[in-house]
Amino acid sequence: MSEEKEWYAVYTKSRQEYKALAYLKALNFNVFLPEVEVIRVRRGRRVKVRRPMFPGYLFVETDWRRESRLDIVRAPSIIRVLGYDDRPTPIPREQVESLQIVVRSGTRVDPHPYLKVGQRVRIVSGALRDVVGILVEKSRNSRKLVISVDMMNRAVAVTIEDASMVEPYE
């Protein structure tokens, strides 16, 4: 593996991560598509299926300065390579390697949106569905939200036990 190669995040067309993966592997790229096992109900039965950890994204290792980048951006199913100011930006190697270790370990992974303290969030399921508030505390297994009622100049705190019940609110 050359030291010049770096990892890049590639954004694919909806539900075409596996098609892009196969295409890039056929061109001899080192490609990583992290997957998680999820439970789905099919015909009344609960079955385990593998799904992309980050739907719509995969990682490709390449030397971006070479012509190989054209193979990536012209590949069917690929929309663009992530970056800033229309320039592809490499993902730190240690982040990709950490993801690879987690996937190989078989540890149960529960992906959820990236949330920061102080961010506005919305509850997406359960009895509090559609409640919007500010994330004031993050702990390993819960999300504590302060739900503000501006007109009354009051707030209440609600503890959410399942992180998948909360998403960023724009």
Write down the architecture of domain 6-105 according to CATH: 2-Layer Sandwich (3.30)
pLDDT at 3: 60
pTM higher than the cut 0.85: no
Q: What does each C-alpha distance from 41 to 38, 44, 48, 49, 147 come to in angstroms?
A: 10, 6, 9, 10, 33
pLDDT at 28: 93
Q: Is the pLDDT of residue 88 over 60?
A: yes
* pLDDT 10s digits, 18-44: 999 999 999 999 999 999 887 778 888
* Confidence label for 134 from pLDDT (cuts 50, 70 and 90): confident
Residue with the bigger pLDDT between 161 and 81: it is 81
Strand partners, 6: 62
Q: Where are the domains of the chain?
A: 6-105, 120-168
Q: Is the pLDDT of residue 6 over 70?
A: yes
**Sign of the C-alpha dihedral computed for residues 142, 106, 99 and 69 taken in this order:** negative
**Sign of the C-alpha dihedral computed for residues 166, 114, 163 and 44 taken in this order:** positive
- Give me the mean pLDDT over the 144-150 stretch: 56
Strand partners, 73: none
pLDDT at 48: 87
